[in-house]
Structure 1
């Protein structure tokens, strides 16, 4: 498995990007429009939030799915025995946000969503004609003015040594959405499962973007684009005693978008949330 590192500004970037997605479910972008300074500010600001008691004022709304999810209410990956070793905040522009974080988080959400729309155009451009015919509408129009795209601010707390046996920061899973946009945190831990069942490290140089396919794009493309299993393993050595912040943007279509003969976005999302114990 060869996850390609693609220069966003290169003339052949769209083709190389989509080729990597097709072969591995993942691609890594460099020289993209999202700045390291912006990401650093977000990491530091959200770390301060998770370190404070303020997070208890934003306990998640089970109906709307926005707000703070503690380690006790964190998700359990499909087929896993233990909850993931993480807490997180679900941010939507229409939802709640800590006042000190609202502006910078909204700005990042908008810029990352705009970039993701371009990436969906690339995916459609390099989809075979028979696969394009499967899309109920253009991929980028599926997310135009969508209220469903989710920015999940993840906090992996320091390990204590008292974790349940076999528990990891994020057990093996596939994402639900169309594409996921994840700024690399410059720390090892994210791994992808290859076609022979081996786990391989995903390149994680600080400032790069890791992009992966979700189940909804796999569904819309009739399986042409693979939603690949991935996980975040527990760090070793000094890294085990450090917090880690991650900012995956889960790109979701509008609720009534038809993905296939079986599912709309809404029906597919409900099915998966029930499997994860979040609904």
Structure 2
């Protein structure tokens, strides 16, 4: 594992793609692909998620996290691995980390009808009764994230020389999760050395993140420098997850990233964001694409594994199951 504890931050995101989804995907596919290959990250504007929906969702998220602690904890599902409902402050750790992250969160997953062939993999959602229109707002946002994510995957497919719709069946009814994140103001109760989100890579296929405009999100470059990800208001930050890196045999990078603690006035206020972890179907078998395999390489290929089994492995590593 890379030692990232004492790395310095370089305040630059030069080279990371920033594209508009209003453009034809053929025109932006390679720019996105190069950015994902080099940095594992890209910024996407004009993504189609309505501004008024984002504003409503942010307001509902703040309303929930302002509830009394005992009310929030009543929505913690024991034995659920944090897949639905509330996960309290001090629970999740990054892989190999010794100290928990300084955050609490709520998960909304895909709703499947009873009897659906994949229903065994996805628990029903729970919804807080104390926040009006919570279910309606976040059901709408989940669908909007899903649509935007599929469009990004179409661009990735074009970059990889695949059929534009290659990823559609791989993520249809996938085990995607939307996370409402709250990083509370920094206080004396935080353990020494703890940060809002310790260095980690994402498990899933791609992540779409709203609410990263405030400074703090950083990625680790190939050269070992921390680069801050500077985001225009309302834009999505997209990053490659471990599942897509495995599928592409490392051609697209799942990059280590973190959210560092702010200084000054920012340390005394909360930070909120909403990542959407887009997943393959639980029964999709992840094995390297033929186009991403170098027949002359001695490097061993990753073994085929189902999306569900891969997810369970990683959830154990981050203290959620």
Tell me which interval the TM-score lies in, with the shorter structure as reference length: over 0.9
Pick the aligned partner of 1:247 from 274, 296, 306.
Answer: 274
Hey, what's the Cα distance between the residues in 1 that align with 2:78 and 2:43? 33
Q: What TM-score comes out, normalization by structure 2 length?
A: 0.80
Hey, what's the Cα distance between the residues in 2 that align with 1:198 and 1:112? 30
1:68 CA displacement: 0.4
Establish whether residue 10 from structure 1 lines up as the match of residue 37 from structure 2.
no
Pick the aligned partner of 2:181 from 154, 158, 162.
Answer: 154
Contact 1:118–1:140 (CA under 8 A) maintained in structure 2: no
1:230 CA displacement: 0.3
Aligned residue in 2 for 1:70:
88
Contact 1:184–1:205 (CA under 8 A) maintained in structure 2: no
Q: What is the number of equivalent residue pairs in this alignment?
A: 271
Establish whether residue 190 from structure 1 lines up as the match of residue 217 from structure 2.
yes
1:233 CA displacement: 0.2
Higher Rg of the two aligned structures: 2
Pick the aligned partner of 1:90 from 100, 107, 117.
Answer: 107
Q: What TM-score comes out, normalization by structure 1 length?
A: 0.92
Alignment RMSD, CA only? 1.7
Aligned residue in 1 for 2:208:
181
The residue correspondences of 1:1-279 to structure 2 (distance < 5 A) are 2-11=15-24, 12-53=27-68, 54-63=71-80, 65-72=83-90, 74-92=91-109, 93=111, 94-99=124-129, 100=132, 101-128=134-161, 138-146=166-174, 148-260=175-287, 261-279=303-321
Contact 1:35–1:207 (CA under 8 A) maintained in structure 2: no
1:205 CA displacement: 2.2
1:158 CA displacement: 0.7
Hey, what's the Cα distance between the residues in 1 that align with 2:51 and 2:217? 19
Contact 1:186–1:206 (CA under 8 A) maintained in structure 2: yes
Point out where structure 2 has 5 or more consecutive residues left out of the alignment: 1-13, 112-123, 288-302
Between 1:159-168 and 1:222-231, the stretch displaced more is: 159-168
1:107 CA displacement: 0.1
